[in-house]
Amino acid sequence: MGLLRKLLAFLHLQGHGELLAVGARAPAFELPDHTGASVRLSDFAGRTVVLWFYPKADTPG
């Protein structure tokens, strides 16, 4: 972990826990999407899902 990342984590700016292991069961979730509609991981059973965590809406990179 780089120094910048350690500093961001210390300041609670950007969280960094441990990546989950390949082969582990993906934790279930139910969250509103950008339209307010509810989305559950189980809605995608039988399909491959890419779950992309991004820091903040409308920021570069």
- Contact footprint for another protein (CB under 8 A): 5, 9, 12-27, 29, 31-37, 39, 41, 44-58, 61
Q: Min. distance of Cβ 7 from another protein in angstroms?
A: 13
Residue 44 gets the label, from left (phi > 0), alpha (psi -120 to 50) or beta, of alpha
**Toward another protein, which CB reaches closer, 3 or 58?**
58
- End-to-end CA distance of the chain, in Å? 20
Identity of the residue, 7 or 14, whose beta carbon is nearer to another protein in the bound complex: 14
